[in-house]
Amino acid sequence: MLMFDVTDTEGTHLATIFAIGIPHAASLFMAWCLCHDGRTPARISVVERTWGEDNQHARHHREAVLAELAGIGTFDPQSGWLIAPADWSLGGDDRA
């Protein structure tokens, strides 16, 4: 399990995803966008994130690996995946 950052063409951070690889991360993000927002961005960049061992993301990564889970956001052992906010959308209120 690896951690990926998804950005749009302008470099705006859209999501952090735990997945087994770039295609898996891109598929998770696109499926989430379709289900949540009804559309997907025209182009995205998916890049593996690196971090130091003392970083909070390293803890989330270890928890995701131990739980054998993939998803968008961060993993909390008490409540599961913390998904992006419910009011999040790709373009604010202008839905396609």
Domain edges within the chain: 2-82
Q: Is the distance from CB of 29 to CB of 17 less than 8 angstroms?
A: yes
Reported for 86-89, long-range contacts at CB under 8 A and 24+ positions apart, including other chains, are 88/36, 88/37, 89/36, 89/37
Alpha-carbon distance values, 72 to 57, 66, 82 (Å): 13, 16, 8
pLDDT in tens, 30-39: 888 888 778 8
pLDDT in tens, 25-76: 898 888 888 887 788 888 999 999 876 655 666 776 677 677 766 666 655 6
Q: Is the distance from CB of 6 to CB of 45 less than 8 angstroms?
A: yes
Burial of 88 by CB count in 10 Å (0-12 exposed, 13-18 middle, 19+ buried)?
middle
